[in-house]
Each structure stands twice: as C-alpha cells, then as structure tokens.
Amino acid sequence: MSLKLMSLKHYTVAGLFVLGTVFPVISAAADAEAGEAKSAVCAACHGENGIAQIQGYPNLAGQNEQYLVSALKAYKNKQRSGGQALTMQGQATALSADDIANLAAFYASLPAGGE
C-alpha cells in the first residue's frame, strides 16, 4: 500500500471522528409521539401546535431538531441567559436526555406554518 493512500485513509478516519464530535447525530431513538405526550407544559407558552400565542415567545414548530436539542441542553446547563431564560432553565432542568430528544423530534415534525 502506498504511503499516499495510507495517509489519505488516516485523514479520512480522523475527519469522520472530528465531524462526529463537532456535529453529534441525534439519537435514532428519538420518539416524536413521546415528545408530544411530554409537550403539555411547553404548550402554555409555545402553543399546542408549536406556534406561540404570546408575543415574543418563539415558535417551535418546524424548528431544526438539532437546534432544539442544543437549546434545551444549554438551558438545562444554565448556559443561556436573558429573556425567558430563567423560566426555560427551570423547565429544562426536569428533562432527561430522552425527553429532550423526544421533544425536539416532536416539534421538528410539526409544520412550521402551524397548519
């Protein structure tokens, strides 16, 4: 095997490792139905269909799943501040990793327009 080909193989493996570390894949086990069942508390501010009825609160429907996971984890770890961060920190603290993944899957599955 040539040195060039071996180096390319090592770089490819290293690159895949870095991508997996920087951009973690959402667990395939995320369950949108379980997320829907857990979403009642979220609906108070973000609407039953993920479209907020309160001015200034974000819509969750159709949002990027990985973004929702990252945001909920950041609230849970008290890494977000401002706005309604204290409320969200309190809500996210009670969520397990599975709850977060399931809620993200549920809201990502909803149509962004709320139809």
Q: For the chain, which residues score pLDDT lower than 50?
A: 1, 5-6, 18-19, 21-22, 25-27
Q: CA-to-CA distance for 62 and 50, rounded, in angstroms? A: 8
In the chain, domain spans? 29-109
80 within 8 A of 74, measured Cβ to Cβ? yes
pLDDT reported for residue 4: 55
User: What percent of the chain is modeled with pLDDT above 90?
Assistant: 69
pLDDT reported for residue 114: 74
pLDDT reported for residue 21: 47
What homologous superfamily does CATH list for 29-109?
Cytochrome c-like domain (1.10.760.10)
**Lookup: tokens for 106:** 């549920």
pLDDT reported for residue 111: 96
CA within 13 Å, CB half, 93: 7
pLDDT reported for residue 27: 46
